[in-house]
């Protein structure tokens, strides 16, 4: 069981995780648990303030230390009570380490995560120094808060939990194509808008289908994301497939 405690002033947003799809099913099957904590519930003033102006001036607001710290402590206490000895506190932040599958794998080894999803310009740095173990960004673009990034991380972690995908094959396939883009997919009808499904997929020849798919995956990765392909590290078969893909592409372009 993985424990997620999420600190957010918009707990309803996390219904995107708890009420839909694979994550909903995994939650129902108790493969993980998720609890949200609202810093507003840890305020002591009449206005339930969680943000204030930045010292030094400038635009935007900063999440105040006190309610946030109280929230982190409540969340980590709950995790310890649930048997997580050292809950890892992760701040979702544009300044964080960029999320990729290697980082997902690393975080998947943690029995419990306390995720802080911030709003405003940022959180008081003294809380970061005192209580945050890691900072994670989902990429070099700006979202309106840490909630969507936190949900991206939770989703990536939950789908890898054993029993999470209805299809054990999907997981095996993910590893077959690890570090590569997908091959093209087709379903019925066989002919649509004057376009037919590639013959090999209709052949029933499973070895030929697997070979074609791997060739397409390699070729498309090479075309679209050359940064993901280290040609020196490819097996002889894969180099052969990539070579075939390029020849076929050239032949096709000459036809047009």
The mark string for 92-121 relative to ligand 9D3 (x by CB under 6 A, - otherwise) is xxx-----------------------x--x
Site for ligand 9D3 contains 8 (CB under 6 A): no
> For residue 33, what are its two tokens?
């648990």
Query: Which of 143, 173, 177, 240 is the binder for ligand 9D3 (CB under 6 A)?
Result: 143
Kindly list the distances between the CA atom of residue 1 and the CA atoms of 34, 83, 148, in Å, as whole numbers in the listed order.
11, 10, 23
The pair phi, psi for residue 96, each rounded to 5°, is -80, 175
Site for ligand 9D3 contains 149 (CB under 6 A): yes
Instruction: Single out the catalytic residue among 94, 135, 220, 238.
Output: 94
- Give every strand in the sheet of 88-98, ordered side by side: 32-37, 2-7, 112-117, 88-98, 134-137
Beta bridge partner(s), residue 196: 191
Judge residue 197's burial from the number of C-beta atoms within 10 Å of its C-beta, 0-12 exposed, 13-18 middle, 19 or more buried.
middle
In this chain, which stretch among 27-35, 42-50, 136-144, 240-248 interacts with ligand 9D3, using CB under 6 A? Answer: 136-144
Site for ligand 9D3 contains 132 (CB under 6 A): no
226 is catalytic: no
Q: Cis before residue 189, ω within 30 degrees of 0?
A: yes
188 is catalytic: no
111 is catalytic: no
Q: Which is nearer to ligand 9D3, 47 or 141 (CB)?
A: 141
Contact of 184 with 221, CB cutoff 8 Å:
no
- Min dist. Cβ of residue 191 to ligand 9D3 (A): 43
Site for ligand 9D3 contains 11 (CB under 6 A): no
Report the candidate in 147, 145, 150, 148 with the shortest Cα–Cα distance to residue 134.
Answer: 150
- Min dist. Cβ of residue 142 to ligand 9D3 (A): 4
Q: Which is nearer to ligand 9D3, 11 or 94 (CB)?
A: 94
Site for ligand 9D3 contains 10 (CB under 6 A): no
The pair phi, psi for residue 192, each rounded to 5°, is -140, 130
First to last CA, the chain: 55
Question: What part of residues 38-97 is at the interface with ligand 9D3 (CB under 6 A)?
Answer: 92-94
Query: Which of 71, 88, 107, 138 is the binder for ligand 9D3 (CB under 6 A)?
Result: 138
Instruction: Single out the catalytic residue among 15, 97, 121, 182.
Output: 121
Kindly list the distances between the CA atom of residue 38 and the CA atoms of 45, 68, 195, 209, in Å, as whole numbers in the listed order.
15, 9, 53, 51
Q: Which is nearer to ligand 9D3, 121 or 231 (CB)?
A: 121
184 is catalytic: no
- Residue numbers at the binding site for ligand 9D3 (CB under 6 A): 92-94, 118, 121-122, 137-139, 141-143, 145-146, 149
List the catalytic residues.
Answer: 94, 121, 159, 174
């Amino acid at each position: 069981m993985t424990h997620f405690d999420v600190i957010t002033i918009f707990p309803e947003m996390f219904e995107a995780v708890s009420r839909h799809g694979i994550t909903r099913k995994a939650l129902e099957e108790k493969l993980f648990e998720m609890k949200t904590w609202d810093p507003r519930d840890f305020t002591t003033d009449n206005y339930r303030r969680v943000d204030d102006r930045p010292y030094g001036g400038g635009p935007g607001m900063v999440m105040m230390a006190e309610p946030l710290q109280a929230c982190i402590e409540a969340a980590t206490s709950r995790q310890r009570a649930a048997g997580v000895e050292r809950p890892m506190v992760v701040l979702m932040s544009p300044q964080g380490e960029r999320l990729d599958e290697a980082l997902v794998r690393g975080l998947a080894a943690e029995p419990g995560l306390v995720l802080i999803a911030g709003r405003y310009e940022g959180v008081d740095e003294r809380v970061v120094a005192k209580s945050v173990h890691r900072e994670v960004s989902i990429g070099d673009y700006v979202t309106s808060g840490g909630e969507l990034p936190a949900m991206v991380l939770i989703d990536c972690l939950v789908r890898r939990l054993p029993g999470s995908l209805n299809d054990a094959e999907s997981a095996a396939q993910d590893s077959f194509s690890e570090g590569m883009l997908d091959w093209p997919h087709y379903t019925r009808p066989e002919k649509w808008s004057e376009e037919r499904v590639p013959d090999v997929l209709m052949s029933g020849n499973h070895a030929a289908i697997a070979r074609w798919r791997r060739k397409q995956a390699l070729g498309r990765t090479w075309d679209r994301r050359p940064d993901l392909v280290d040609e020196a590290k490819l097996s002889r078969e894969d180099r052969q497939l990539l070579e075939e893909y390029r020849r076929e592409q050239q032949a096709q372009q000459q036809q047009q």
